[in-house]
Structure 1
């Protein structure tokens, strides 16, 4: 793994640690609340981050990295109203997220520059996809921070 790729994985790990730190003191009850001005809750955002990172890798590699049900629960345009008894809990999602970066590194650390047919966004390597998911994770980390701020005001 070259220095650029090591930096990429360091960023993935650092931002993931920041995300998990941001939800460390959130209760199960708080993770389920959806204030009127929001579309989703903290639990949904965690599941969406987890699914999205694997989804983009799957788009390239066709590898089956997560259950299809994650698309139903956490896909774009879905909401907690789509949850059922099988939906991972807040605690389960935190555990999945904690291990995701090391799993990606283990599975794809030596394949980051391998070329695949491009996605609709023009990405054709896992390295490019991971760079995109860092941005996406940051957006949803901010959404979680906004939810936390709003919920604690009330």
Structure 2
């Protein structure tokens, strides 16, 4: 089972990284009609939520700055951002580094029970599956937003 987990993380993350490298820089901070956020926000959100789910951010992880929780966490939005938001290039590099850490999670870790169920998940492995699903979901939103922005 854990091999499939690594495969899913690598497949989805590499598709995300490929998408980021091909983005029109003019589109990343556009919030199209009907969408709550920007492509820039989605990229940071994927990084932040994966860090929360699998590495205990912000309490147990210092791999990304604590301010990311306010910038990219659930309920956040670009309209509330200060002037010093990390660039997409910086987020892209952090996503690559995070993938290395994801691939370093020992397979046995996925069998561990969570201290308490989280979003209906009871083990680290179940939460990892949720993280992979979450990333793929937001990648789909990025694809959709890109198409809408091109056609506006």
TM-score by length of 1: 0.86
Give the deviation of 1:93 after TM superposition: 1.0
Unaligned runs of 5+ in 1: none
Which one has the bigger helix percentage? Answer: 1
Which residue of structure 1 lines up, in the alignment, with residue 99 of structure 2? 101
Deviations 1:97-126 (A, max 9, x none): 122121123245442222231234232322
- Unpaired segments of 5 or more residues in structure 2? none
Instruction: Name which of 1, 6, 10 aligns with 2:7.
Output: 10
Cα distance in 2 for residues equivalent to 1:108 and 1:80 = 35
Count of residues in Structure 1 that have an aligned counterpart in Structure 2: 150
Aligned to 1:115, which of 105, 108, 113?
113
CA contact (8 A) 1:8 1:131 kept: yes
The alignment status of 1:36 with 2:33, answered yes or no, reads yes
SS at match of 1:116: strand
1:75-107 alpha-carbon deviations (Å, 9 max, x no partner): 111111222243211111111112212112324
Could you say what secondary structure the match of 1:11 adopts? Answer: helix
